[in-house]
Structure formats: C-alpha cells, structure tokens
Chains A and B, each alone.
Chain A
Amino acid sequence: MTQSVVIQVGQCGNQIGCCFWDLALREHAAVNQKGIYDEALSSFFRNVDARVVGDGGSISKGKISSLKARAVLIDMEEGVVNEILQGPLRDVFDSKQLITNVSGSGNNWAVGHKVFGSAYQEQILEKLRKSAEHCDCLQCFFIIHSMGGGTGSGLGTFLLKVLEDEFPEVYRFVTSVYPSSEDDVITSPYNSILAMKELSEHADCVLPIDNQSLFDIISKIDLMVNSGKLGAAVKPRSLVTASAEALRKRHKKPFDAMNNIVANVLLSLTSSARFEGSLNMDLNEISMNLVPFPQLHYLVSSLTPLYTLADVNIPPRRLDQMFSDAFSKDHQLIRANPRHSLYLACALMVRGDVQISDLRRNIERLKPSLQFVSWNQEGWKTSLCSVPPVGHSHSLLALANNTCVKPTFLELRERFTRLYKKKAHLHHYLQVDGMEEGCFTEAVSSLSALIEEYDRLDATKVFLQEDLALAQRTERKEAETMKIPGR
C-alpha cells in the first residue's frame, strides 16, 4: 500500500485542507472499528507514540496511539493556520510540518513565487524530505491551492518545480481553485495565468475547481434542505457539503460547505487505493488512463449524489439517476457542460454497493448522448470500491478529460488581456526581482498553445456532428421516397 502527502498552500488551500482532514478522520473512523492502525489509515496518517519526545515514535502496526496527518501546511500569513492549530484538529498536525510568515503575499504571484519561493526553498525541501522519510512507499503529492491569490498561486506553483526535481517518481496531483468572474481580487487574472504555465509544465494532473460552481451547488442543496418538502427526507449525515442541521442553521462559515465538496472529491479519488473493491484503481492509473498527451492533463470532476434521501431501498432507477447526474452540467465543479463538448477520456469511480452490471448498464445507456474523440470511442476507465462515503450507501466520482475546460481558459485569457493591455497593476509585479514582462508574455502564450490543442480536438468533433447530420438527412430522404406511392 502506498502513502500520499498533502501540501496545502495559502488561505484557500489550508481551509480546504482542513475540511479534508476532518472528513478523512471521520471516514476512517466509520470503517475502522477496531482501532488498529491499518494500511488504509497509513495512506494519509502516521501513527505516533505521543509520549516520545522528538522526532521518533512512529509506530507502524498495532493499536492507534496518536494519528498525525501526512501534511505540510504552508501560508505566508498566520491567520488560517493558527485557527487550524487552535481548532479541533490541532493534534492531527505535526507542528514541525508548518511553514508560515506574517506578511502575506499581497495577492501577488511574483511575491509568492519569487520572493517567498527562494526565501523558503530550503525549509520547504527539509519538510518535504521529512514527510517522505516517514513514508514506506510515497506515491503521490496532493497540492491544494487557489490560482487567484499570491501565496497559493505563486508559492504553490513554485513548489511544483521543487517536487519535480527532488521527487521525480512521485505523482503531483494539483487541486486548483480558479477565480470566478466576480472575484474581488483585481489581479487574479495575472496570478492565474502565471500559475497556469507552471501547472501545464510541472503538474501530472490538475483538477480545476470553480468557486461559482461550488456556490451554485450549495445554493441548490440549501434550497432543497430548507424548502421543507424534501428537507425532512434528507438523511442528516449524508450531505456531501455539511450536515443538514448545519445548513439549516447556517451556523457554519460560508466557505465550509464548498470546501467540503472539494474534500470529498479528494477522498473519493483515493478511496479505491485505500479500501478494497472488486475492481481497484490506484492513483497511478488515473494519469495513465486520463492523460493521452502530456500537456492535456486538466480533468473536470463531478460528484454525485450530493445528499441521500432517507429512503432505505435503493431501486436501480435511483442508482441510475446517480450516473445521469454525474454528466449533467449542474454537478460539474467548474462551469462546463461536458455533454456539449468532446470527451478524450472519462473515469468513473464508484463507491459502495454497486456491481459491475450496474456500471455497464449505465455506460451503455449514457454513451450515445456523449461525444468521444474518434481514437478513443470506448474511452472509459472504471473502478469499484466497496466502501461508500460516510452517510451514503454509494457514490460516484466522474473525472473527465473533456474539451469543456476550454471556455474557462478562454475567459481567463480574456480577463488577463483586458488588464494587461492597460498595464494595470503591472508595476507591483515588475518591481519583484526576477520578474519581467517576458514572464507574462510567455505565460499567456503557454495558455494559448494549450487552448489551440483543445481547438484542434474540437475540430474533429465537428466532423462527427457533420457525419451525424448527413446520416440523418439521408435517412429522412429515404423515408420520404418510401412514402411516395407507386415506388
């Protein structure tokens, strides 16, 4: 069994990370009845004898003594990390695995990347090496950050190069929160574009997430839970976002529900590697199957169901609804409609009481309405994990390599261009040592090259559509000729 290390960078990264660890503990607590430190737990947690002073005290088997998250927390401000360390999860984090500063990055990618990058490079390397040493077989780094700010965006992407050089064999999985168009950080387009170049060059796989989409999903659930009709029927602990009472009382902080969704995605992604199932899928299989060309490694994710009704019986129709929802634009975690775009590859990771026949039935059912690229018409990767998430009897995570990411990138580039044309706020960046206008132009051309790749693939889709249209026309013509009497 392998281990993974989570690196949470910046305010957003750490808030999501915090939700992730909370959920991970709850999930393992639900499965691990005997309190034994098993291989599944070891994928994200170390077992430490709290009485031993210093760095030793790692216990590899036997009863759980004290669990420590395999995490590195990085932030150039102290607020968020301090809150975590004072909250209910304080014992889960090893205080030696933190890197903080007080001044913050001022929403400036250049400060995060160049200034803090070089200042903290040694420290970062040291913490990473330590966490790697604690792993028997380190398989993957999960980096969580946002694109629009300064620390998560700048320092987070600086990390990628460090990881690539220092640990070339370990996968780099990045969960990136992209700024929505109503983002209040004016320079977020600059930060995002500069970060994108790093993601394209140094990440193995990127899961783009859009705050607006998360917000829309939460609003819909909010509506259902609080509307009274469906509200009572929702099982209390089965909301992917947060508990039903919490949503009803609206006590929780605004981003918590959204962060919970992202945390759930990460948990589901790794569930088949941690728990058993009839068709396992390891983390290295994600990259192998979903990345046909090295640069095209952006995966659109969707998670269903988002809540479970208190209905005990799950008739097949309910199960099938779960599959249909995974492909609807309302369940995607970025603004995208995969049905209208081209699929390069699609992975379905199912958890819980679902069998291969259910999976096959639904693939057959949904296939005709989806467009797959000509060289990958049967481009499905599937996995079945027996352990469902807490509070649910089954769930589905769909990861799609689909050209529907293009609009997100196009919009980003447009917002960037609007700012850059006027050279707005550029001096904040250029005054940082090592930054010059070339950095911006390079970053934007990297993104343009990526968009071009997607354009080229979309062009093949047009052929498919034309073929389809031609076929339909021919069919209709033939049908008309048949109707003419005397023929």
Chain B
Amino acid sequence: MSIVTVQLGQCGNQIGFEVFDALFSDSHCSQGFCSKKENEAYQASCKERFFSEEENGVPIARAVLVDMEPKVINQTLSKAAQSGRWKYGQHSCFCQKQGSGNNWAYGYSVHGPRHQESIMNLIQKEVEKCDSLSGFFIIMSMAGGTGSGLGAFITQNLQDEFSNSLRMNQIIWPYGTGEVIVQNYNSILTLSHLYRSSDALLVHENDAVHKICAKLMNIKQISFSDINQVLAHQLGSVFQPTYSAEGSSHYRRNPLGDLMENLVPHPEFKMLGIRNIPQMPENSLAYSAFTWAGLLKHLRQMLISNAKMEEGINWQVRPPLSGLPPLGRASVGAEPHFNTSIANLVILRGKEAHSADLEGFKEPALYTSWLKPVDAFSVWRTQRAFRRYEKSAALVSNSQFLVKPLDTIVGRAWNMFASKAYIHQYTKFGVEEEDFLDSFTLLEQIVASYCNL
C-alpha cells in the first residue's frame, strides 16, 4: 500500500526532499547485510510505498508540494531533478506568489478556502496513481503561516474527503528561543485543530535535533540541511519496510495502519516521538560495532528518562516499583521524573535482529495501568540494514515525552494572549479570541491527560 506525502510551506518542502532522498538512497544502498533477493524485495516494497514509476525509469516521489510562495518549491524541484536518481512530478506542485506572512489565520482562513479545490485535485491525482492507499503523511511546521494554518486546513479536508484513509502529521516544533515571534500562537492553533482531524502527530523538536547535530554528528556550523538530514534519517528508520510478523519474510503492507494500531489506542493521546540509536556521522560507521544488548539498554533508558539522544542520559531515573502507583502525580515542573508510556514500538534493523532481547521494554512499570504490556508494546524486526548501520533501532513512543514542551508553549502563548499582543493580526482574518480560548482549553486538557498517566 502506498503513502501520499503532502509537503507544506518552506519547512515541509525542505524536509520532504531530504526524506525522499534518504528513503531512496537507503533502498538502493548496496550494503544491506542481507541476501540479494532480500534486498530486492526491500527495494520493491519501498518503491511501492513512496515512488511511482516514470517512463524513462526515473522514479517519481508520491508527493504533493504546496507553498504560498515559489522560491522553496523551485529549489526543491531542481535539487531532486539534479540528483538524477529520483524526482518530483512536474505537475505535483501548487504555488502562489505571496506567502502567508507567518499568520496562521491567513493560512487557514484565506489561503485554505481559496485554494482548496486546486490542492485537493492535486492530491486526488496522486492518490489515483496508487494501487491502494495506506494514508497520508503531511509534513509541516507549527511556527509559520502556511505549514501551520494551511496545513491544518488541508488535514481537515483530507479527513472529510478521504475519511477511510489515515492521516499522520509530521510536525516540526520550533526552537524555544524564537524563530518567529508569533510561533506560540501559531502552534497552539495548529495543535488544537490537528488534534481533531489528524490520526497521529509525529513530533520533532528543532532544539533536540540541533543537539544531535552538535553532539553526535560533530557538525561545527549547523545548517538547516544538516538538521533536516538527521530528521530524514529518523523518519526513514521508521517508514522503511519491515517484516509483517515475527518470523515472516514478507514486508508489511500497511505501515500507517500498523503504526496507528500499535501506538494510538485512545484518541485522547496522539502525540508520538521518535528516538533513534545509534546516530553518528557516516564516516564513523566503519569504526563502530554495537551489540543489541547495549543499544537496547540505552534506548530503554532514553525512553524512561526522556532523553532525546544517546549522550547525556540520566541513568538515575528508574521505573517505579511495580504494583505501587508512581511517586506522586507527575507534575510538569518536577525534574527528573519517570516518563510513563502509553504504547511503544521498537523497530530493529540489521544483523541478528531476530535474536535481540526486548524483555526490558515489556515491564508493566513502564506503562500506564489501563493497558497490558502485551498490548502496549510491539516490536518489528528486519534483517536488512538501514543506511549501512549494521545494527540500528528506532523507538516510536506515545508517552509523556512532549508534556513539558507543550506546556511551555501553552504558557507562553497564554502570557502573550493576556496582553492581547498581535491579536489584531489574527482577528483581521477571521480567527477570533474565542478560537484562541478553545485552543487553550483543548491543549490544557491534553496536558492534564498526559500528566495523569
């Protein structure tokens, strides 16, 4: 089954390019640490999901590119075409002349309805190219105007027009010290709307990825390309094909469906985060060797201590003794506290993946009480290595990871809202104070629900 990607705004398009590039180069990587037949099946599965075939053999990404101004899309299209290995469909983009001005209201209330038909037509055409559709992967940022506002609008439309298909939104959380001054307003409006129309929100924080670039990848002068490439690596490790069941040798057909089934048992809890291990600059790969035991021990500690990467993990944090309730309700301020999960999915790729021991992830103490570990935890194993990492593990987690960042954003937005700063820019385009208040209410409810796990 195929996934149709919708890339929105500057961020969405820049990241989208890196994602397709990572998926393609991984699937055509010669060092899969597996048999040739295995490799071919992997390639074919990846292709079915993400690329459609073109006459002269150059695969076309199953993507629709949307932006309200042309510069980024032009850049993205030409970068892909230049690589010569894959490209975007010539007619798969929608562009306007004037951006959304970092204004969620403009993206949602003006651009949305104005361009609804054209954009949905493009998406429809892309869907028709698929034999069967698993769902939509929508890449957008929260801080700007197009990705956030138009993204929220389009997701709602997808919910109305393709109600049987799944929608997963890849959201970029902005840097804490502003990229955009009204980013907190744009973020809360986006999140509250997406919570109603999206099936799952996969979140990446710029701050976290930045640290990975600095500490693990040893990049001195970090650019957005670097950040996007790390992001693409993490997404690729989740979305590349995996075997459908323990011991099977067929790749699973419905990646989005399976992800949702495993990770989103309850609609109140939709926020997912990815952790990846190991992550290092490519030229260090040859000199590193890992054991599954070592990798999984770190990954588990990353989960329970809410670490974003394998360096600087706090080993003091321990799960509460089983049978006893967690020590006090998790308050947002308390630090360090144990990160309770609703559901976890570990994806193992590489040599001897079938032999790795995951008992550590099955402890009831890691999970909230209303799900048994057998329902809350799943593991997907594949022998074929990812991007020449002999062994690599990805953790997709629905847990308390995002409580603190979310609470921070809500707090800052509220602070600004109380002074009424910038509100005139939103009411100008039909987003009223009630809409803000509704968003605050919804998000505070979500924070509370996650805190009370």
* A, B bound: yes
Q: Is the pair A292, B421 in contact by a Cβ cutoff of 8 Å?
A: yes
Nearest-CB distance from A331 to chain B (Å)? 22
User: How distant is the Cα of A177 from the Cα of B419 in the complex, in angstroms?
Assistant: 32
Residues 374-430 of A at the B interface (beta carbon under 8 Å): 374-382, 384
Nearest-CB distance from B405 to chain A (Å)? 13
Residues 201-224 of B at the A interface (beta carbon under 8 Å): 210, 213-214, 219-224
Q: Is the pair B71, A1 in contact by a Cβ cutoff of 8 Å?
A: yes
Q: Is the pair B181, A284 in contact by a Cβ cutoff of 8 Å?
A: no
Count CB-based A-B contacts (< 8 Å): 120
User: Which one of B71, B175, B421 contacts A293 once the chains associate, using CB atoms below 8 Å?
Assistant: B421
Nearest chain-A residue to B419 (Cβ)? Answer: A375
Contact flag A376-B421 (CB < 8 Å), given A2-B97, A280-B71, A280-B72: yes
Contacts of A137 in B (CB 8 A): 97-98
Q: Is the pair B71, A382 in contact by a Cβ cutoff of 8 Å?
A: no
Query: CB of A364 within 8 A of chain B?
Result: yes
User: How distant is the Cα of A137 from the Cα of B98 in the complex, in angstroms?
Assistant: 8
Contacts of B71 in A (CB 8 A): 1, 39, 276, 280
Q: Is the pair B415, A375 in contact by a Cβ cutoff of 8 Å?
A: yes
User: Which one of B97, B177, B181, B222 contacts A345 once the chains associate, using CB atoms below 8 Å?
Assistant: B181
User: Which one of B101, B178, B415 contacts A285 once the chains associate, using CB atoms below 8 Å?
Assistant: B101
Query: CB of A472 within 8 A of chain B?
Result: no
Q: Is the pair A285, B221 in contact by a Cβ cutoff of 8 Å?
A: no
Residues 49-66 of B at the A interface (beta carbon under 8 Å): none
Q: Is the pair B179, A382 in contact by a Cβ cutoff of 8 Å?
A: yes
Contact flag A378-B75 (CB < 8 Å), given A282-B98, A288-B101, A357-B222: no
Nearest-CB distance from A324 to chain B (Å)? 17
User: How distant is the Cα of A136 from the Cα of B69 in the complex, in angstroms?
Assistant: 13
Q: Is the pair A284, B424 in contact by a Cβ cutoff of 8 Å?
A: no
Nearest chain-B residue to A296 (Cβ)? Answer: B421
Residues 403-430 of B at the A interface (beta carbon under 8 Å): 412, 415-416, 418-422, 424-425
Q: Is the pair B424, A293 in contact by a Cβ cutoff of 8 Å?
A: yes
Contact flag A364-B177 (CB < 8 Å), given A288-B425, A356-B224, A356-B227: yes
Mostly helix, strand, loop or mixed at chain A's interface?
Answer: mixed
Mostly helix, strand, loop or mixed at chain B's interface?
Answer: loop
Contacts of B145 in A (CB 8 A): 285, 288
Q: Is the pair A284, B99 in contact by a Cβ cutoff of 8 Å?
A: yes
Interface centre among A279, A288, A293, A367 (most CB of B within 10 A): A288
Q: Is the pair B98, A2 in contact by a Cβ cutoff of 8 Å?
A: yes
Q: Is the pair B102, A376 in contact by a Cβ cutoff of 8 Å?
A: no
Q: Is the pair A282, B101 in contact by a Cβ cutoff of 8 Å?
A: yes
Contact flag A278-B224 (CB < 8 Å), given A2-B97, A2-B98, A357-B210: yes
Contact-residue bracket for chain A? 35 or more
Q: Is the pair A355, B178 in contact by a Cβ cutoff of 8 Å?
A: no
Nearest chain-A residue to B180 (Cβ)? Answer: A381
Contact flag A1-B221 (CB < 8 Å), given A288-B101, A292-B422, A357-B210: no
Contacts of B98 in A (CB 8 A): 2, 137, 139, 282, 284
Q: Is the pair A355, B99 in contact by a Cβ cutoff of 8 Å?
A: no
User: What string of 1s and 0s marks CB contacts (under 8 Å) between B124-150 and chain A?
Assistant: 000000000000000000000100000
Contacts of B178 in A (CB 8 A): 378-382
Query: CB of A249 within 8 A of chain B?
Result: no
Q: Is the pair B424, A363 in contact by a Cβ cutoff of 8 Å?
A: no
Contact flag A355-B182 (CB < 8 Å), given A367-B177, A375-B421, A378-B177: no
Contact flag A1-B222 (CB < 8 Å), given A136-B97, A360-B177: no
23 residue pairs of the A-B complex, CB under 8 angstroms, read A2-B98, A279-B10, A279-B179, A280-B69, A280-B71, A284-B103, A285-B101, A287-B101, A288-B145, A293-B420, A294-B424, A355-B224, A357-B221, A357-B223, A363-B177, A374-B415, A376-B181, A379-B178, A380-B178, A380-B181, A381-B179, A381-B181, A382-B179
Question: Closest 5 A-B residue pairs measured CB to CB?
Answer: A284-B101, A357-B222, A292-B421, A137-B97, A380-B178
Task: Using CB atoms and an 8 Å cutoff, list the residues of chain B in contact with chain A.
Answer: 10, 14, 69-72, 75, 97-99, 101-103, 145, 175-182, 210, 213-214, 219-225, 227, 412, 415-416, 418-422, 424-425
Q: Told that A276-B71, A344-B421 touch, could you supply 12 new A-B pairs with CB distance under 8 A?
A: A280-B99, A285-B102, A287-B425, A288-B101, A290-B181, A293-B420, A293-B421, A357-B219, A367-B177, A374-B415, A376-B421, A380-B179
